[in-house]
Structure 1
Amino acid sequence: MTPQAPRPRRSVLYMPGANARALEKAKEIPADALILDLEDSVAPDAKADARERVAAAAAGGGYGHREVTIRVNAPGTPWHEDDLRAAAAAGPDAVVVPKVDSAATVHAVEAALEAAGAPEHTAIWAMLETPVAILDARAVAAASPRLTVLVMGTNDLAKELRAEHVPGREPLLTGLTLALLAARAAGKAALDGVYNDVHDLTGFEAETLQGRRLGFDGKTLIHPRQVEPCNRIFAPAAEEVDRAERIIAAFEEATSQGRGVATVDGRMIENLHVAEARRVLALAAAVAGR
């Protein structure tokens, strides 16, 4: 039996909420998901106008298959509560919340969204950006069924750790893996953080591949030129699909003969490999459907 196709989140592109042209252009960019941003990309004196523009864009539609989310300003800022009310009224696929350090923050956001009439389909994506958030990641991930995705805020995390930005991200690996463990323990998706040099596609591809190998579902992006390589790297390759099909076929043949294991390419196959093969095929089908 093939599992229900997951929603691909290979490429998740930040779009500046103050830029009307960028919000319109996003309708043509082949990203799996968009984050219409009210936080870092918007100057303080432009927050109110950006809020109105982003809410109208999210409510107006026109983004096709793309998952549309709104990143609000962080809890404790002067704009946070107004952002949540506007996002609730717009009804995007999700509200992305920066600086989530505890389950209590998730509960407060959830209560504010519900009080403002947010539709049930509007999920919460929590950004983990501090040492406190990483150390409490499991509680954050399990705080609410409405929370569906953990998003790594690697720039802020590096700043808080006083870590250097280096190839391979050695200073961040502990935080990345702890967040992934928390996400998987709670049955949530996990998105890798951004790569800052938009001109260095070689470095970007290396980091994206690392993120996939670690187990992330996709990566957040800061420029449209990063979308294509991200989509390619996080999608199952043809050889992966072929191997998954052969694993399932071999295992089904073995079980029909009363055997609980099979061999593919010289390697033993059992239930856990079949489950992973079915996940690969489901993701490949979802991607192909786009």
Structure 2
Amino acid sequence: MTAIPGPALLFCPANRADRYHKAAGRADGVILDLEDAVAAAERDAARESIAAHPLDPDRTLVRVNPAGTADHEQDVAAVRRAGYTRVMLAKASGPGDLDALHDLEVVVLCETARGVLAAPELAAMDAVVALMWGAEDLMASLGGTSSRFSVSTSGVAAPYRPVTRHARSRILLAAGAYGKAAIDAVHLDLDDHVGLRAEAEDAAASGFAATACLHPDQVPVVREAYRPDAARVRWAEEVLAAAPDGGGVHRLGRQMIDEPLLAQARAVLRRAGKEPM
């Protein structure tokens, strides 16, 4: 699986060069956004900014406008001029959308009904290194009005609707099937750190490699959510230490341990920054 910076990726408007280095200093990776975050009239200047104010290419993605739009070709040319090698393709809908991106590493953003249904085909492409999904654009493509149920009385964001959860799962499964990374969607309520923490913990446990953030204050919440707690790390170490040479099923306390649980234990240690045994 190609490494994607994470676990916290921070969107930064490409027309705000004054924020580039601040974003890079706060997050694990930066997504310079030439699409939704930038008004059409400001995109020419934004393209010049990404070349004039370079960031570490290993920790930077550039979100380009969808294939077939007037801005797409100009965005891709600006990425190449700036020396970046990794793009996030907005509203990817099928393999043909990547025709102009063959020499780049591509994170496909599946945020329409067509994109979600095409996720397996996109994941199978050599140029694709990761898949991300988006809830609100998906709702718009369906003619819906809300990706979530009503906000609870506590003010914490309510769960996603079934169709939204299905899209999230489909992106994760498609990515996993082809050994690509999966990136979880942004949490729109910037003040709801409780809801963000719960979603990021679920993302980490489910196999997402990263979660996208809209505000720097969301970054530490995501990082903490992806970091296994001490008890989980101890469990992983004990599971691997007790594994018999050559593998096979064995018992540890009340648990029956086999290769799938050994793989989970290794994943826990990797997330904790430790080398699996």
Q: Give the TM-score taking structure 2 as reference length.
A: 0.87
Which moves more between the two structures, 87-96 or 208-217? 208-217
1:134–1:274 distance in 2 versus 1, CA, 3 Å:
same
**1:139-170 residue CA offsets vs partner (Å, 9 max, x unmatched):** 011022x2111011221012223152331102
CA distance in structure 2 between the partners assigned to 1:178 and 1:70 by the alignment:
24
- Structure in which a larger fraction of residues adopt helix: 1
1:160 to 126, 131, 141: 141
TM superposition shift of 1:229: 0.6
Count of residues paired in the alignment: 264
CA distance in structure 2 between the partners assigned to 1:53 and 1:81 by the alignment:
17
CA distance in structure 1 between the partners assigned to 2:224 and 2:118 by the alignment:
32
1:209 to 201, 218, 242: 201
Contact 2:133 2:168 survives alignment (8 Å): yes
Residue 19 (structure 2) pairs with residue 22 (structure 1): yes
Which moves more between the two structures, 205-214 or 80-89? 205-214
TM superposition shift of 1:91: 2.7
CA distance in structure 2 between the partners assigned to 1:245 and 1:110 by the alignment:
42
1:190 to 182, 188, 196: 182
**1:235-260 residue CA offsets vs partner (Å, 9 max, x unmatched):** 22222221111111100xx337xx72
Alignment of 1:98-109 (within 5 A): 98-106=90-98, 108-109=99-100
What SS does the aligned partner of 2:245 have?
Answer: helix
Alignment of 1:37-76 (within 5 A): 37-57=33-53, 60-61=54-55, 63=56, 67-76=59-68
1:5–1:191 distance in 2 versus 1, CA, 3 Å:
closer
Residue 267 (structure 2) pairs with residue 279 (structure 1): yes
Contact 2:2 2:180 survives alignment (8 Å): no
Which residue number in structure 1 is paired with residue 69 of structure 2?
Answer: 77
Moved over 4 A (4+): 4-8
Which residue number in structure 2 is paired with residue 110 of structure 1?
Answer: 101
TM superposition shift of 1:11: 0.7
Contact 2:79 2:85 survives alignment (8 Å): no
CA distance in structure 2 between the partners assigned to 1:129 and 1:151 by the alignment:
8
What SS does the aligned partner of 2:187 have?
Answer: coil
Contact 2:2 2:129 survives alignment (8 Å): no
Contact 2:133 2:167 survives alignment (8 Å): no
Aligned AA for 1:135? L
Aligned AA for 2:193? L
TM superposition shift of 1:180: 1.0
CA distance in structure 1 between the partners assigned to 2:140 and 2:191 by the alignment:
22
Which residue number in structure 2 is paired with residue 124 of structure 1?
Answer: 106
2:30 to 11, 22, 34: 34
State percent identity of aligned pairs. Answer: 32
1:237–1:92 distance in 2 versus 1, CA, 3 Å:
farther
Aligned AA for 1:159? A
1:196–1:21 distance in 2 versus 1, CA, 3 Å:
same
**1:169-217 residue CA offsets vs partner (Å, 9 max, x unmatched):** 0231111111111110111000111111112222222232333343322
TM superposition shift of 1:92: 2.3
Which residue number in structure 1 is paired with residue 245 of structure 2?
Answer: 255
Aligned AA for 1:278? R
Contact 1:5 1:283 survives alignment (8 Å): no
Alignment of 1:225-264 (within 5 A): 225-251=217-243, 254-255=244-245, 260-264=248-252
Which residue number in structure 2 is paired with residue 119 of structure 1?
Answer: none
**1:57-105 residue CA offsets vs partner (Å, 9 max, x unmatched):** 3xx33x59x7111111111221110110111232325111101111121
Aligned AA for 2:47? R
TM superposition shift of 1:6: 5.7
Aligned AA for 1:92? Y
Gaps of 5+ in 1: 115-121
